[in-house]
Chain A
Amino acid sequence: MAKVLVVTSGKGGVGKTTSTAALGAALAQMGEKVVVVDFDVGLRNLDLVLGAERRVVFDFINVVQGIANLSQALIRDKRLENLWLLPASQTRDKDALTDEGVGKIIAELRTKFDWIICDSPAGIERGAMLAMRFADEAVVVTNPEVSSVRDSDRIIGMLDSRTVKAEQGEQVQKHLLITRYDTGRAARGEMLSIGDVTDILATPMLGIIPESQDVLRASNVGMPVTLNDATSAPARAYTDAARRLMGATIPVLVPAARKGLMNRLLGRRAA
């Protein structure tokens, strides 16, 4: 049974695209057949994070308009044979997306894949609404700071009212993914605590991804962080999150601040 998962946040720059690529790669590594769909028409990034930017010929909009068929637009990942990308168009804007067009493509993808992961653009306009429209589940990506939390709250409200599932009286299952969690700043009280965030958002936790240079490093070489260095802290956190999506019960641990001089020196060097 195919699942449509939207990765959304409201606010920009919190890590939606990184999380989409990392979760998609982790699920594919577990043997699931996964397609990641870029909904950020005009500002596409997912192809870069997956290292597929030179391989884009046809895109989402071409398929919506009937210029290409779906199999021509899908790009298979070179490292993971279970991972596919449906890229967004870079030359168009979000007005090119239509409700029926998106619905048709999602329905077709449902017949071919186990997971359809939709990378939502920031904002609450057309692109973001269409990315969540047909979702069964949602990963709400939040940074532990007030503006991100409030935007996520707004998006959760929309997941409960503007999706097809909500209109049918059902519920989109929501997961909270906290990214860029900085243990040092958390220890100094410069960030919202995990408790504050879950208190405000009241949504089950999927995982806490620590702030790490590994994430940026992986993006720069066009690798999902879970593939680039599977032993790094963020990679392990994303892999656990993917397992939780598959139904495993793994307790969510709050990353602890590093203690001790040696660790701190090593931590500084790594950072």
Chain B
Amino acid sequence: MGAVVRPKPKSIRLRGRSYVAFVFFPVVPIIDWLDEIDVTLNQSPGFFAGKPMVLDLSAVDLSQNAIGQLVASLEQRGLRILGIEGVGAERLSANLPPLLTGGRNAVVSNSEPKKPPPKKAASLLIDTQVRSGQSVVFPEGDITIVGSVSSGAEIVAGGSIHVYGTLRGRAMAGINGNLTARIYCQKVEAELLAIDGYYRTAEQIDATSYAGPIQVWLQGEVVEISPLS
């Protein structure tokens, strides 16, 4: 009994997959149309490189011979045609790319790597005066205030604080352990200046000695104030 067990032939597995291809629409006179292609290729030689291309001949009426010449002249330019559409099957000889049907238009996107979505700016702009009793808290970053900060108002920032006006209220910068945060203002009459928890109260700020713009920064554990000029 010499029965031979043959392995059961596996069925061929096929998968459907779709690609986005460039479609050429040649128009008569073909010579001029080829010139246009040459211009494009001169400007950016790599424009078509490595991309699948299809020839749509619905706008022209070419013989089998002429189609062969067109495909050949495209290949001379380094453009390889994946398939042809818009023409009867009888016009295509066996050595020409196959006939394609059922193509759908697709939006061709630039293949350049997409930029990541712009990061939300770590800065908050307030272009009004901050009034007594109001509190501006922005732990994510800097606060810029175009206007004054009234007595009894409070500005709390994870980063630096910029006040284009008189700072009369409380300013707390670098609340999340940012030792390099600073406070800038056009004029200081502040009730409290703090950077990362180190602070100076109004009594420790000799406002009379700073007539103009100042900056406040942290040196070691000491809150320093110096004129900006």
**Interface positions of A (Cβ within 8 A of B):** 150-151, 153-154, 156-158, 160, 199-200, 202
Contact = CB atoms under 8 A, between A and B. Distances in A.
A49 to B, nearest CB: 29
B133 A200 contact: no
A156 B150 CA distance: 11
Using C-beta atoms within 8 Å of the partner chain, give the interface range for chain B. 10 to 19
Given A160-B128, A160-B131, A200-B168, A150 B148 contact: no
Interface of B: 128-129, 131-134, 147-148, 150-152, 166, 168
A200 B150 contact: yes
Contacts of A157: 131-134
A154 B131 contact: yes
Contacts of A200: 148, 150-151, 168
A95 B152 CA distance: 28
A158 B131 CA distance: 9
Contacts of B150: 150, 153, 200
Given A150-B152, A154-B132, A202-B147, 12 more contacts: A150-B132, A150-B151, A153-B132, A153-B133, A154-B152, A156-B131, A157-B134, A160-B128, A160-B131, A200-B148, A200-B168, A202-B129
Contacts of B168: 200
A160 B126 CA distance: 13
A199 B148 CA distance: 9
A153 B150 CA distance: 7
Most chain A CB atoms below 10 A, which of B132, B147, B152, B166? B132
A158 B152 CA distance: 14
A95 to B, nearest CB: 23
14 contacts: A150-B151, A151-B132, A153-B132, A153-B133, A153-B150, A153-B152, A154-B152, A156-B131, A157-B133, A160-B131, A199-B166, A200-B148, A200-B150, A200-B168
A129 B131 CA distance: 17
A123 B187 CA distance: 30
A202 B148 contact: yes
Nearest to B130: A157
Most chain B CB atoms below 10 A, which of A150, A151, A160? A150
A203 to B, nearest CB: 9
A158 B147 CA distance: 17
Give 6 nearest A-B pairs by CB, closest first.
A157-B131, A153-B132, A154-B132, A154-B133, A153-B150, A157-B134
Nearest to B131: A157
Contacts of B134: 157
A189 to B, nearest CB: 16
Most chain B CB atoms below 10 A, which of A158, A160, A202? A202
